Amino acid sequence: MDPPATLNPAEVAVNLIQQAVSKHNTRHDKTFFKAVLAGVMLSFGGLFDLIMTGGSPSLTTSNPGIVKVLGGFLFPVGLVMIVLQGLDLLTSNMMIFPMAVLKGALPWWSIPVNWIIVTFGNLVGSLFFAAVLAKYDGLVVDDPYATYIRNFAVTKAVTPAWYQIFLRGIGCNWLVCIAVWQATGARDTISKIIATWFPIWVFVACGFDHVIANMFSLPLGIMLHANVWKFVDICIHFLLTTL
């Protein structure tokens, strides 16, 4: 008799705790490198989204909802690559490490150690991608992309009130954790892709804020001369979406 297509919730929880223990036991330099790669992979999805949404100004004017849905459909490719490659993304580690600590599988200090290493690794990968693979290779330095990216940075980091950014971060990471949970429960590759895709599609189309995705898009906006108070706005935005 074939096993069920998905793990049950208890089995998923055990699997995620085991993942946290494995990540905790990984050398810090390897964790950092995997986090850098995760920042790059997520940025591929972010650029894919920007190419679609930024390259459709007339459609954005006439039907902005469709553009958000289409751009959101493209973005999940980044998280799919992270899940399938077993890389380290801060927002999913924010779920699995507290689970492991609460079950007594890891010491409490494993949480800040992992989160700090992975945060900076994700940031390095995102900044590398924004500078080298988005700006300096000339892919999005001209209009309509440049203007869209500048405006996007302003609407993310400047326009919303601080509590709106915070609440959008909650909505985003809820869906990211659902995606990782569902992908963990799926037994085959196609099922993992589908399980990951839909929650991420929802969060991007709805406009929630993902701290690592914004580590790519906001610095890219600054590189293209967005009207953002560079240090304070970006730091506050990253802090609020991480909390």
Express each pLDDT in 116-160 by its tens digit: 999 999 999 999 999 999 999 999 999 999 999 999 998 888 888
For the whole model, what pTM was predicted?
0.90
The pLDDT of residue 228: 75
The domain in which residue 20 lies consists of: 9-242
In a domain, 186, yes or no: yes
In a domain, 18, yes or no: yes
Per the structure, how many domains does the chain have? 1
In a domain, 131, yes or no: yes
pLDDT beyond 60 at 241 = no
Question: Among positive and negative, which fits the CA dihedral 190, 195, 200, 201?
Answer: positive
**CATH, residue 204:** 1.20.1080.10
In a domain, 143, yes or no: yes
The pLDDT confidence band at residue 227, using thresholds 50, 70 and 90, is confident
In a domain, 1, yes or no: no
- 162-185 and 9-24 are packed helices; what angle lies between their axes, rounded to 10 degrees? 110
In a domain, 66, yes or no: yes
In a domain, 3, yes or no: no
pLDDT tens sequence across 182-221: 999 998 999 999 999 999 999 999 999 999 999 999 999 9
pLDDT beyond 60 at 236 = no
In a domain, 4, yes or no: no
For residues 2 and 132, what is the distance between their CA atoms, to the nearest angstrom?
47
* Nearest residue to 224 (alpha-carbon basis) of 143, 122, 158, 160: 143
